[in-house]
Amino acid sequence: MTKALAMISGGLDSILAAKLIKDQGIEVIGICFKSYFFDETNAIRMTKQIGIELEVIDFSEEHFEMVRNPEHGWGKNMNPCIDCHSMMMKYSGELLKKFNADFIITGEVLNQRPMSQNRQALNVVKKQSGYSDKILRPLCAQNLEPTQMELDGLVDREKLLKISGRSRTVQMELAEKWGIKDYPSPAGGCKLTEPNYSIRLKEIIERKSNITERDINLLKYGRHFVTPNKIKIIVTRDSSEAQELKKILTKKDLLFFTSNFNGAMVIIPEGNNPTEDDLTLACRFAVRYSKGKDEKDVEVKYGHVSTDFKDFKKVNSITQEELEKYNLNN
């Protein structure tokens, strides 16, 4: 029986491509990639709707090294889509033998994304993957040259599609026809496409050479500020963010909070070496994001996580001008 590996991003296009091939009587196994910037949550939900198994591949470390310096550059934000797709296809190609599969399918659509899915970019991805003769794009196949799989009769080209452009009308009609109702928006899934997150990631890549997984996880939460001494300060937006951050804090992180007013949790993560000026700024942020922001000489306690917080400063709130100066465009 013919078998295909379907690259499942968790979005609608990739699951439609898998369904289209499955309906030709071909066995389809979903392959989902997990990194620091996206995970398998949506892919699990999507594959259940069309009844295919899913293999999750964690390539976080290698993927991050590529994100730092992609051969074909970043997109609008920090998304290196061409290099990312090439890496995924390379991994998928290496799995063909393991699963005794014949070819790879993806949900890419010609010209859906102007930079990463034009004809030239699609060809670059195929070539760079090292498995160009094993890649089929079912949703736009009739806009492209026939693949070896079609020429050999493994796939019926007449049953493939010729979708092109950014409109999603055809995809949504297919989803309704096949009963696929639970799918994410096209923009969701990858943190690297988010403007604010990308600004934070770029800043830490430029500031710090030895970046850990925890450093990257911290970028997901709160408001982020950088002092004139290049010290990171994180301020939570609400109690739910504070609870999430508490799960990844260590005893080397510094916490700041106002003694007599309710307010946000303020953090200087470990790995920073704050001066007295930086500590004062962090205290002033704590006042700014507390019920005492309009008071003078507010007491702020601070110390490392799980200590007695014996240190304190009496400070006023940070000004709006300073706030904008140090803000990483949250």
Question: Are 184 and 217 members of one domain?
Answer: no
pLDDT tens column, 143-153:
999 999 999 99
Taking residue 2's Cβ as centre, other Cβ atoms within 10 Å add up to: 17
Question: Are 60 and 182 members of one domain?
Answer: yes
Question: Are 151 and 292 members of one domain?
Answer: no
CA–CA separation, 234 and 326 (whole Å): 11
Residue range of the domain that includes 140: 3-192
Is residue 198 in a domain? no
pLDDT tens column, 286-317:
999 999 999 999 999 999 998 888 899 999 99
Percentages helix, strand, coil for the chain (3-state, rounded to 5) are 40, 15, 45
| Average pLDDT of every residue of the chain | 92
Work out how many domains the chain is built from and give that number: 2
Q: In the structure, what pLDDT confidence band is assigned to residue 129 with cuts at 50, 70 and 90?
A: confident
End residue of a domain, out of 145, 161, 192: 192
Is residue 217 in a domain? yes
Q: How many residues does the chain have?
A: 330
Q: Which of 318, 239, 238 lies closest to 282, judged by CA?
A: 318
Question: Are 51 and 162 members of one domain?
Answer: yes
Residues 6+ apart with CB under 8 A from 118: 110, 111
Whether the pLDDT of residue 80 is over 70: the answer is yes
Q: What is the mean pLDDT of residues 111-140?
A: 81
pLDDT of residue 187: 58
Question: Are 169 and 242 members of one domain?
Answer: no
CATH number of the domain encompassing residue 27:
3.40.50.620
End residue of a domain, out of 135, 167, 192: 192
Is residue 119 in a domain? yes
Q: In the structure, what pLDDT confidence band is assigned to residue 115 with cuts at 50, 70 and 90?
A: low
CB crowding 81-98: b at 16 or more within 10 Å, else e: bbbbbbbbbbbbbebbee
Q: How far is CA 1 from the centre of its chain?
A: 36
Cβ–Cβ under 8 Å, residues 269 and 232: yes
Which pTM was predicted? 0.86
Is residue 201 in a domain? no
Is residue 200 in a domain? no
Question: Are 241 and 126 members of one domain?
Answer: no
